[in-house]
Amino acid sequence: MKVYKCFSSYHLKDSPHHPLPITKELHKKGFIDISEGTPAYFRAVEPEKVIASLRDKYLRSAEEVIIKLKSYQKGQRENWSPVWYLQGEWNIRGKVRDLVENSEKEFITAFVDAKMALKFKKAFETAKHKGLDVKIILLEKNKRYLNALSRFGEVIPVSLEDILYREEEDFQKIFTEALFSSEAPSRVKGVFVRDGKESIMVYEEDGIIKGLIVRIPFIPLFQRMVILYLIEKSREKN
CATH label of the domain that carries residue 143:
3.30.870.10
Q: What is the pLDDT of residues 73-99, one digit of tens each?
A: 655 554 556 778 888 888 999 999 999
Shared-domain flag, residues 154 and 227: yes
Q: Both 105 and 205 in a single domain?
A: yes
Determine the structural domain holding residue 188 and report its residue range.
81-237
Q: Is residue 56 part of a domain?
A: no
* Sheet containing 208-214, strands listed edge to edge, beginning at the edge strand earlier in sequence: 83-87, 208-214, 198-205, 187-194, 106-111, 133-138, 154-157
Same-domain status, 199 and 87: yes
Considering the domain architecture, whether residues 152 and 230 belong to the same structural domain is answered as yes
| Cα 109 to Cα 193: distance, rounded to the nearest angstrom | 6
41 and 102 part of one domain: no
- Specify the length of the chain in residues: 238
Inter-axis angle of helices 171-180 and 218-237, nearest 10: 100
Least confident of 50-59, 68-77, 145-154: 68-77
Span 32-60, pLDDT tens digits: 766 666 666 667 777 777 777 777 777 77
Counted domains in the chain: 2
What pTM was computed for the model?
0.62
